[in-house]
Amino acid sequence: MKLTAGARISDIAFLLLFASEFTFYLLILQTGVVEYHHSDMHALWMLPVGGLIGIVSSIFLYNERTLLIPFVLLIQLVLSLGYAHTNGFELFLFGLISGLTAPLLIARIDNFLLIVLALALSYTYGTYHFHIPAADRTSIAVLLSLVALSASLFSQMGRDRTASEGYDAKGATTIFFWLLLDAALFETLSRNSLMSIWGEMHFTWIIIVFHLVGIAVAYTLRDWNRNNLALFLLFVLTYGLYAFHLRLELSIVYPFVISYYNVILLRRLMRLRYPALAMVALSLWIASGLGLMIALSGEFLVAWAVLAVLGVIYLSQRKSDESFSFTSPFRRLMAHGS
């Protein structure tokens, strides 16, 4: 079916909206604000509280999303003008906006290729600018907010989508563990001057390339029925490289893993009806916070324990997992050939 000019414009606008908001989360909320406040949870606690309230509120405001998204992004733009000096209430608003927009943006996905391109754009831009100190990212925060606000006006956020799946506890638990493992390692690496890879210019292009490779591979195998097992093995490899202090190898494998699981994660989330999507988003926000707490406490053994639990879960699973029911692309190819 041929796309109209309006549909093409809205798709491009949504690509820019998704990419800019995802990058805003990576560079401003996840790292910028946290770094500026020296990871002091007494100063930062309003940020996750706002996020949790935002996600829950999005369930009740879902039908108002067309007007809601531009409105909250306008507030984000204003807050971004002085993001590095935010007080508790402003941190709460940042969290609230992120909690509101993230699940609503995922719920808008109806063209998965656009989101894959948005991830590629986001990881490239975010990695390239990661070396900029947190206090100097105000212009980035303003630019990303301005792009997001402008794009939201043309993104047709009220467009209906097909989503038939409800909440599945087993699938949600698996997703929770993925993000917890990633958050714990990322936050730990960010605080380890001997092992940190982001912000190191000699690793920047390696990281970008393997982010893109991970996205491409995951998109190709997005419906593969072994993605759960593949992700588990990739996390085992990543944690092993960290344990043996292999920075170069880690700069290759870890970005690949991050991109791979985010593509698979978004593929799964876009199939969920909105209340179920919001519930999973709530658990992911909690997982991200727990990962930060693991890093701050220095108890990385907890992350290893989570990885071990995940291994036990996979060993105990049956051959078919209904929550991630994928068909192997290789089998489809063989069946087509026969």
> Is pLDDT at 327 greater than 50 in this prediction?
no
Using pLDDT thresholds of 50, 70 and 90, give the confidence band for residue 318. Answer: low
Instruction: Report the phi/psi class of residue 162: left, alpha or beta, with left for phi > 0 and alpha for psi in -120 to 50.
Output: beta
pLDDT at 4: 62
Closest CA to 189 of 28, 27, 31: 31
Task: Identify whether the C-beta of residue 95 lies closer than 8 Å to the C-beta of residue 54.
Answer: yes
Q: How far apart are CA 268 and CA 175, in angstroms?
A: 9
pLDDT digits (tens, 9 = 90+) for 107-118: 999 899 999 999
Q: What is the pTM of this model?
A: 0.87
What per-residue confidence (pLDDT) applies to 108?
A: 92
Dihedral angle over CA of 134, 138, 140, 146, nearest 10:
150
Q: What is the tens place of the pLDDT at every residue in 255-303?
A: 999 999 999 999 989 889 899 999 999 999 999 989 988 988 888 999 9
Cα 105 vs. chain centroid, distance in angstroms? 12
Residue 81: pLDDT over 70: yes
**pLDDT tens digit sequence for 11-34:** 999 999 999 999 999 999 988 887
Given this model, what pLDDT does residue 323 score?
A: 46
Mean pLDDT of the chain, nearest integer: 87
d(CA 327, CA 42): 47
Provide the pLDDT confidence category of residue 164 given band limits of 50, 70 and 90. low
CA angle at 284 for the pair 232 and 24, rounded to the nearest 5°: 105
| Total residue count of the chain as it appears in this document | 338
Residue 103 binned pLDDT confidence (cut-offs 50, 70, 90): very high
More confident residue, 43 or 2: 43
DSSP 95-153: HHHHHHHHHHHHHH---HHHHHHHHHHHHHHHHHTTTS-GGG-HHHHHHHHHHHHHHHT
- 3 state DSSP class of 327: coil
